[in-house]
Chain A
Amino acid sequence: MAFEGLADRLQETIKKITGKGKVSEQDVKEMTREVRLALLEADVNYKVVKDFVKRIKERAIGQEVMESLTPGQQVIKVVKEELTSLMGGEQSRVAVSERPPTVIMMVGLQGAGKTTTTGKLANLLRKKHNRKPLLVAADVYRPAAINQLETLGKQLSLPVFSLGTEANPVDIANQAIEKAKEEHLDYVIIDTAGRLHVDEDLMDELQQIKQNVNPDEVFLVVDAMTGQDAVNVAESFDQQLDVTGVVLTKLDGDTRGGAALSIKAVTNKPIKFAGMGEKLDELEAFHPERMASRILGMGDVLSLIEKAQDNVDQKKAQELEEKMRDASFTFDDFLDQMSQVKSMGPLEDLISMIPGANKMKGLKNVQVDEKQLVHVEAIIQSMTKKERVDPSVMNASRKKRIAKGSGRPVSEVNRLLKQFDDMKKMMKQMTNMQKGKKGKKGKGFNFPFM
């Protein structure tokens, strides 16, 4: 409810800006306000949001956006770039020690998903990297935690080291490493008990384990649903244990997962993996870009814009604008436009990327007839150069020839000519409007096939 509403609101603002030729400071303000709301609703920490929005504002008001042809889209691009860079690149590598075994410590709050992630990570190391991991049950506090890890070990047919609940976690860790050496196991993954970052005794215990086993990785396991407190938790664990990476769990839920951004911002440690389900093979490399879109609740609109940017030739777009202005737009330009749109991929895919498209009456389950596109193309290609530039020369015999050449009925040729004519009239109107009223730019036109 609130979530979708926000995404829609953001879209509204974007739409408003996208339609404009110039973006005013007021527009940017409005836009950043929506971005701010989106981030807060996604649980990004208040302070992180504040800094972030400030940076966006600076860039958006700067030349980069103001002087661009498509300022609205440019603002969004800035938002996404900033968000993605904040989140870091994809980094799902796990350390390999020169002198095996490589030791990994799993730490985090209660209920974050450490034990399950321990099992998943072991599974990944074995399957993908052909390693032999040892699981270590160092959670002696939570009832049946050892049991849980032993069950996972059985399911995976992997060895689990435990000394029961009476042993000291530091001893357990030390002995586990000895055992791994003896048995030539190359990874040791230590599952520690969940604890509050403010619990001094238990945090001290983790530091002791760390000093003893000198781990190659210390992974902080964080629930993706964590709220504003994520920064306190991550900062505190990182300060006390110098975390090497973060694993985000329960990302298969419907949370926006803003905690990811907060954690990255305060610790600057990479988020390496994401837990995507309860099964033991549901651990994936973390994708910062996808997370950026998700936090903003923008569906794939960002990749849509990116596609547009990759495929639409800016120079051509400018030429087109000029042609629209003096109404010298021809069938050749029309073909050009079509091929640009087509190069962005199947139209249905493009439409499905537009947020809210499935809610729009006209666009719901729209079946774009790609054949129609081909027909339009064929008709235009059957025209002579002269006809393409100046359709006014068109007469019955020319139409018949074109129909024959393209294999389409004359009625279809007529329809296209009419649409093209309407389009040009519209362009003229818009241009006149612009002359009268400064600032309002044309909103584009309908393609004959939509």
Chain B
Amino acid sequence: MSFFKKLKDKFSKTEENQEVSDKYKSGLSKTRGSFSSKINNLVARYRQVDEDFFDDLEEILIQADVGVNTVMDLVDELKMEVKRQNIKDSSMLKDVISEKLVEIYAGDEETVKAELNLQPNDLSIFLFVGVNGVGKTTSIGKLAHQLSEQGKKVVLVAGDTFRAGAIEQLDVWGQRVGVEVIKHSEGSDPAAVIYDGIQAARSRNADVLLCDTAGRLQNKVNLMNELSKVKRVIEREVPSAPHEVLLVLDATTGQNALSQAKTFSEATNVTGIVLTKLDGTAKGGIVLAIRKELNIPVKYVGLGEKVTDLEVFDAQAFVYGLFADMIESSDDESLDS
């Protein structure tokens, strides 16, 4: 059974699955539309699998911010595959291309599940980190909403004591979602407010504590040390925590996202990524390189500014979304013949 058949079956078997895939297809319509329609055009334009074909494939992938290195590796592997299987017709290459992309993301694993590491009977502490303006606070608001809907008691702690208005921003989200926000005043020690957040979450018997932090550029050594300190404070209070360190990445970011992932991981041992602003025209292709080089999975995607605009990231669904057009049209073709 071909890879796409497998995927398609997966998503058409149950109604629930269908819903998930539909949501992905519409939510990621821009990503999907431009990406896979380009590959479709590409395949239609070329009868022969030649240098020009690979040049254009490279163009599509680079424009999706996948990154030169990853793209060149991928193209090299494809060239080898073409040689090995003696593929001459470009339409036969579609499967190989998509399979390779999923492989880069998923590796040998059947599925990469993006579930959060929630403690069943204890307080779960999630730390949000990232550079300025990527959507940390917004993602916390959205996730708080989602977890509350699932019946969990959520507490937020305003660890961004630096940026003007950051505490009030989280406070507004707390009110929107109906959860408590623990805060100190602007300019106070972030580690201290996080400490208070943990105590408060415990005394209120909360299920989840979401910790906001100030945005910081990864090359600022002092600020990265400050972040490590925040993490140590959490570890000292709850030895198994933080249960997730979520790096928030803006999908509009180019190759620097790799540097962000690397440095934030060194400072805080990142366990997952929230990829925001996928409702724009940027493709966020850099997560492929991050996954490949640093083995950090994407757990959530942000698809807008509303409280409901946060989706669990499912690698296969994501790739299915990217390639939906291609998959469907290749099925049409097989019906025709």
Bound-state CA distance A430–B186 (Å) is: 70
Q: Among A111, A232, A252, A259, which residue has its beta carbon within 8 angstroms of that of B254?
A: A259
**Contact at B133–A148, with CB atoms within 8 Å?**
no
Chain B: interface size category: 35 or more
Encode A294-321 as 1/0 by CB contact (under 8 A) with B: 0000000000000000000000000000
**Contact at A110–B254, with CB atoms within 8 Å?**
no
B59 close to chain A: CB less than 8 A: yes
The stretch that binds A, out of B9-17, B238-246, B255-263, is: B255-263
B286 close to chain A: CB less than 8 A: yes
**Contact at A144–B254, with CB atoms within 8 Å?**
no
Q: A141-B305, A147-B168, A227-B65 are in contact. Are A111 and B218 (CB under 8 A)?
A: no
CB distance from B281 to the nearest CB of A (A): 5
**Contact at A111–B250, with CB atoms within 8 Å?**
yes
Contacts of A254 in B (CB 8 A): 217-219, 256, 259
**Contact at A37–B279, with CB atoms within 8 Å?**
no
Bound-state CA distance A335–B57 (Å) is: 57
Q: Among A40, A141, A151, which residue has its beta carbon within 8 angstroms of that of B68?
A: A40
Nearest residue in A to B59 (C-beta to C-beta)?
A46
CB distance from B308 to the nearest CB of A (A): 16
A53 close to chain B: CB less than 8 A: no
Contacts of A223 in B (CB 8 A): 133, 250, 252-253
The stretch that binds A, out of B81-89, B114-122, B169-177, B322-330, is: B169-177
Nearest residue in B to A153 (C-beta to C-beta)?
B164
**Contact at B164–A225, with CB atoms within 8 Å?**
no
| Among B173, B218, B253, B256, residue most surrounded by chain A Cβ atoms (within 10 Å) | B256
Chain A: interface size category: 35 or more
Which residues of B from 157 to 197 have beta carbons under 8 Å from A? 162-166, 168-169, 171-173, 176, 186
**Contact at A2–B69, with CB atoms within 8 Å?**
yes
A42 close to chain B: CB less than 8 A: yes
Nearest residue in A to B277 (C-beta to C-beta)?
A110
A80 close to chain B: CB less than 8 A: no
Bound-state CA distance A232–B34 (Å) is: 13
A229 close to chain B: CB less than 8 A: yes
Contacts of B279 in A (CB 8 A): 196
**Given A43-B65, A196-B280, A229-B65, 20 more contacts at CB 8 Å?**
A37-B68, A41-B69, A111-B133, A112-B133, A141-B305, A142-B305, A143-B169, A143-B176, A144-B169, A144-B171, A150-B165, A196-B277, A196-B279, A227-B286, A232-B281, A233-B281, A250-B132, A253-B131, A253-B217, A253-B256
Query: Residues on A close to B: CB < 8 A?
Result: 1-3, 37, 40-43, 45-46, 109-113, 115, 141-152, 155, 196-198, 223, 225-230, 232-233, 250, 252-256, 258-259, 278
Across the A-B interface, give the 5 residue pairs with the lowest CB-CB distance, nearest first: A227-B254, A111-B133, A148-B165, A143-B172, A43-B254
15 pairs from A and B in contact (CB 8 Å cutoff): A2-B258, A40-B68, A41-B67, A43-B256, A46-B62, A109-B252, A109-B277, A111-B135, A143-B168, A144-B171, A148-B166, A225-B250, A225-B253, A233-B252, A252-B220
